[in-house]
Amino acid sequence: MMKRVTKKVGKYEIGRTIGEGTFAKVKFAKNTETGEAVAVKVLAKSRILKHKMVDQIKREISIMKIVRHPNIVRLHEVLSSQTKIYIILEFVTGGELFDRIVDKGKLSEREARGYFQQLIDAVAHCHSKGVYHRDLKPENLLLDSEERLKVSDFGLSALPQEGVELLYTTCGTPNYIAPEVLSKRGYDGAAADIWSCGVILYVLLTGYLPFEESDLPTLYKKVSAAEFSYPFWFPSGAKSLIDKILDPNPETRLRIDGIQEHPWFKMNYESISQGEDGDVSLDDVRAVFDDIEDQYVTEQSKEKISPLTMNAFEMITLSQGLNLSALFDRRQDHVKRQTRFVSRKPARDILSAITSVAELLGFKVNRRGYKTRLEGASVNNAGQFAVVLELSLA
């Protein structure tokens, strides 16, 4: 009988794969010193180098280390070997809040308020550190084994540059985006996050979105005017709060402190321990990425950048201003994963990117005006599939 070989990275014993994406595998692991279960995100340095993801991944890791709070997925440390980067994360077992909404249709007022209180606590801590999430939605809110909410996915987060108060990048999921983010003017990241929190609270209490239209121009108009309605049974206290949060004017929109002082919010509120104060060391991040950037110069001198082995939609997300990460729709009776994305790129550039990447990966492409149909085989060749993309001009 062969003895099973266990891989060890630092003090962590690496186990089975529990998730896999384009750039990383996520593995279950155990801290051999404490017995604590962790999740380890394993990234190949070669892929990061070839596809110029160094700055993006370094930023996300740095932000996750800075925002340490009981309601935020914790990043313990970053390790590296000659070929891999290992990101040691808190192991969260309860799934997405999105799935909880799908299963129940809507949450009770007490349950919704509890999750919203935790969300606001987490967002308040992020903002106190100068971090703005910019893609808050139920899919990015996880639950642990004790039903505690954990904010995740800081891939679109922003740390404003010194002396710069406004952000200018349009990003996020359209149904959750604040009106000012859709405009060409700069916006306050804190106020934009608060708007998203208001949409999330509405979804928790109803099971569906306040702003939901089949075409983006109509959706934008309704978001810009805060044009939505409440069902007759909607809790009056929550309505009073949401009315102040979903204010299309960011200058008069309720702020974090106003939310925390609102009577509906304060009911049954149990303040948990605050985030950790003091400076957080980024020495391990710097060590890993200073080393990888040295390798980058060497890699670039040896070879040309090769195409990604990934699906077309993930590849397009590497282009500045394009975010197709939530393209595939998981339809449910009320709430669904979003299938739309926002970009300020010209229509011809978006269509050209989709076409060139799809053809590179062997998909058959049919274009008619602003509609594109992609046909191909599944990864394991189990069958054929087709995806139809439609571009709407706002």
Are 153 and 135 spatial neighbours (Cβ–Cβ below 8 Å)?
Answer: yes
* Residue 52 labelled as part of a binding site: no
Q: Is 188 a catalytic residue?
A: no
Sheet holding 364-368, edge to edge: 364-368, 371-377, 384-390
SS3 of 45-110: HHHHHHCCCHHHHHHHHHHHHHCCCCCECCEEEEEECCCEEEEEEECCCCCEHHHHHHHHCCCCHH
CA neighbours within 13 Å on the CB side: how many for 25?
A: 10
Q: Which two tokens stand for residue 376?
A: 């191909």
Q: Rounded CA gap, 241 and 243, in Å?
A: 5
Q: Tell me the torsion sign for CA atoms 218, 224, 227, 230.
A: positive
* CA-closest candidate to residue 220, choices 229, 210, 211, 209: 211
Beta strand extents in the chain (DSSP E only): 7-9, 12-20, 24-31, 37-44, 75-80, 84-90, 141-143, 149-151, 364-368, 371-377, 384-390
Q: SS3 of 309, please?
A: coil
Of the candidates 55, 99, 103, 135, the residue annotated as catalytic is 135
Q: Rounded CA gap, 17 and 40, in Å?
A: 9
Q: Which residues are annotated as a binding site for ATP?
A: 50
Q: Which residues are annotated as a binding site?
A: 50
The catalytic residue positions are: 135
